[in-house]
């Protein structure tokens, strides 16, 4: 119960609504958008590296034999917990095609490692429906509650893989928070900052990869 509670309260952001206004967990991420041979999106490959404070908390809660490290079976338990619980949050994936939101399938497995004091997760997800490389597509990773800050250190961490993208243009968009607030004053109310989950407006602040084909 204790182990499950940690990831539920942390990764899944099930804390009091008033705590959502600023992040408590920090993640450096990499996202690879992979094109299939038929000219559609095949999958999205994710790498998440967590901050040392949160990582140490995970070790404390999942270290069954109390040797201050995570054995393969303990790492597998972390991955299973996240895989089961993050489904309701669509694994923080944010995808659209020509303005239409697309959700993702549950990943087969979430691989977890612990190196140099930091927790790492590796997993791939696939769209629930076909996403042909036509028109405008966007891809991002964000926590709708704002409890977890997911950052891409460089634009290169948002990558395209596959020949299907050869005829496409792309750009990494990093929204300026002040500009987002200024341009959306009518939509961003006090209720949003107290409970972003209820408005789903946090995606306006999220870094994203825009692809036009």
Q: Is the pLDDT of residue 179 over 70?
A: yes
| Ordered DSSP codes for 129-194 | S--BS-SEEEEEE--TTSSEEEE-SSGGGEEEESGGGTT-EEEEE---HHHHHHHTTTT--HHHHH
Model confidence, pTM = 0.84
Helix (H) or strand (E) holding 112: strand 111-115
Q: Is the pLDDT of residue 12 over 60?
A: no
Domain chopping of the chain, boundaries? 2-212
pLDDT, one tens digit per residue, over 128-162 is 999 999 999 999 998 877 788 899 999 999 999 99
């Amino acid at each position: 119960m204790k182990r499950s509670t940690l990831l539920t309260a942390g990764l899944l952001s099930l804390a009091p609504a008033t705590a959502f206004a600023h992040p408590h967990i920090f993640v450096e991420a990499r996202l690879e958008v992979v094109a299939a041979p038929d000219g559609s999106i095949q999958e999205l490959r994710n790498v998440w590296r967590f901050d040392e404070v949160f990582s140490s908390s995970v070790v404390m809660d999942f270290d069954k034999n109390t040797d201050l490290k995570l054995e393969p079976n303990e790492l597998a338990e972390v991955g299973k917990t996240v895989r089961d619980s993050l489904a309701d949050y669509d694994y923080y994936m944010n995808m659209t095609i020509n303005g239409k939101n697309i959700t993702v399938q549950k990943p087969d497995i979430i691989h977890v490692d612990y190196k140099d004091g930091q927790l790492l997760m590796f997993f791939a997800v696939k769209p629930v429906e076909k996403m042909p490389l036509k028109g405008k597509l966007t891809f991002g990773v964000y926590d709708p509650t704002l409890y977890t800050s997911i950052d891409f250190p460089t634009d290169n961490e948002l990558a395209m893989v596959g020949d299907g993208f050869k005829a496409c243009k792309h750009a990494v968009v990093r929204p300026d928070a002040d500009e987002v607030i200024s341009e959306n004053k009518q939509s961003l109310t006090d209720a949003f900052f107290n409970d972003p989950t209820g408005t789903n407006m946090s995606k306006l602040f999220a870094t994203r990869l825009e692809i036009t084909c």
